[in-house]
Every structure is written in structure tokens, then in C-alpha cells.
Amino acid sequence: MLSASLKALDSITILNPDDNDTVSGQPLSINGTSSLANAYVRLIINTTEIGYVLTDAYGDWSVSSSDLADGSYIIYAYLIDGVKTLATAQHVFTIENPYSYE
């Protein structure tokens, strides 16, 4: 008889901005969840690293970016354990900022 031990895979999810969403970039609120508590998430928008954020006790994470201009973007989130990437996620989104009439 064969027996196997299954290990749950680590995961990361971007909740906001949603995939193919149109949002304001003043500032852009980015958040999500992961399978790990107290782990690092590396965030990149297009090719610019916006930093690392630590997940909370439930695996949730959030960060705000500086003002982004109108346009199309891709956000990448990497769940990191030391130097090893455990999981990745990406979303495509569009920024449309409200106009200011002064």
C-alpha cells in the first residue's frame, strides 16, 4: 500500500486593484492575502519595485503607492521566504485619475 503526504501549496492573491479594473492612482491602494502569516510580499508595478510589505497574522497585506499617472499597468506580487519565491500573482489594471478644475 502506498501512502503519500500532501503539502498545501503557498499562495498569494491580489485583491485590489482587481484584474482588468480601472482605478484612481491618487494614491493607489494595493492589498491582498497570502497563505502565510508574517511573510514578506515584494511588489512591482510594471518594472518599478515599490517595496516589500509584511503580511499580518492572517496572511493579509496592504500598501499605498505614490501618485500614478493615467495609463495601463501590471502589478506583480511575490510571496517571499528569505531569498526564495514561494508564490506569485499579477493583475493588469488601468489608472484614470479624476480631473482637477482650478
pLDDT tens digit string along 41-53?
A: 999 999 999 999 9
Domain holding 18: CATH number? 2.60.40.1220
Does 100 fall in a domain? no
Instruction: Look at the chain and report how many structural domains it folds into.
Output: 1
Residue with the bigger pLDDT between 8 and 60: it is 60
Within a domain: 22: yes
Note the pLDDT tens digit of each residue in 59-77. Answer: 999 999 887 899 999 999 9
pLDDT of residue 16 exceeding 70: yes
5 is a domain residue: no
- Domain contains 39: yes
Q: Is residue 69 part of a domain?
A: yes
Greater confidence (101 vs 78) lies with 78
- State whether residue 89 is helix, strand or coil: strand
Does 101 fall in a domain? no
Looking at residue 8, its pLDDT comes to 64
Residue with cell 517595496: 51
User: Is position 88 within any domain?
Assistant: yes
The predicted structure's pLDDT at residue 7: 55
The more confident residue out of 25 and 2 is 25
- What domain range is 85 assigned to? 12-95
% the chain with pLDDT above 90: 73
Specify the higher pLDDT residue, 65 or 19.
Answer: 19
